[in-house]
Amino acid sequence: MDEKIKINIDIEKLVFKYIEEYKILFFPNQWSEIFLDFSKNEVFALLCLYRNKDSNMTDIAEYIMAPLNTTTGVVGRLEKKQLVERIRSTEDRRIVLITLTDKAKELIDKEKEIIIKYLSKIYESLTEDELASAFSIFGKVMNIFAKDKEEITNQSIKEKKVKKIFIE
């Protein structure tokens, strides 16, 4: 058997093995069910606002890596759920800032407690060497994803060429 094919088969087995073992991370009985009612973009928009206190639509769009029209829909849905509110700047009424409501802050704080509980258990169960190895491996994995994202972004920029329209 070709060595490359054998490696691919082994990687596929490995991937499915880990998916089977780690699927518990994605079940509601392991975590609270609060964030199951939100899309990925909604969760990241909430996290952006939690960390920055308030943001404009452009900042949120950049944070969640989505176009502005998508971000407008995301913020609209969060507004309907009474988790964010739009506030006009007192200095410049044209500027609209998005901020979390108290309801959203409580929700995020509750989720944060659950995450911290599990991460503390993990941290306590590992030796210093294991922690150093884990952080090193995680850093390398994230670098691979970051490089791939950068390559994809650069490729899409190259593909987006401005078309010149000649007017006679």
Tally of domains in the chain: 1
- Predicted local confidence at residue 67, as pLDDT: 93
Is the CB of residue 10 less than 8 Å from the CB of residue 2?
Answer: no
- Per-residue pLDDT band for 77 (boundaries 50, 70, 90) equals very high
In the numeric block, the tokens 């699927």 are attached to: 23
Most confident region among 26-30, 72-76, 113-117, 154-158 by mean pLDDT:
72-76
Handedness of CA 145, 151, 156, 160 (dihedral sign): positive
> Is residue 133 situated within a structural domain?
no
- Residue 132's pLDDT band, with cuts at 50, 70 and 90, is very high
Q: Comparing 87 with 9, which gets the higher pLDDT? A: 87
Residue 59 lies in a domain: yes
Identify the residue with better confidence: 31 or 23: 23
pLDDT of residue 21: 78
Residue 166 forms part of a structural domain: no
CATH number at residue 36: 1.10.10.10
Supply the range of the domain harboring residue 106.
3-125
Which residue bears the tokens 């901020």? 99
**DSSP H or E run through 100:** strand 96-100
pLDDT of residue 155: 64
Q: Is 73 domain-assigned?
A: yes
Residue length of the chain: 168
Name the strand (E) or helix (H) holding 133.
helix 128-159
Report the predicted TM-score, pTM, of the whole model to 2 decimal places: 0.70
Residue 84 counted as domain residue: yes
Share of the chain above pLDDT 90, in %: 51
Please indicate whether residue 4 or residue 118 has the higher confidence score (pLDDT): 118
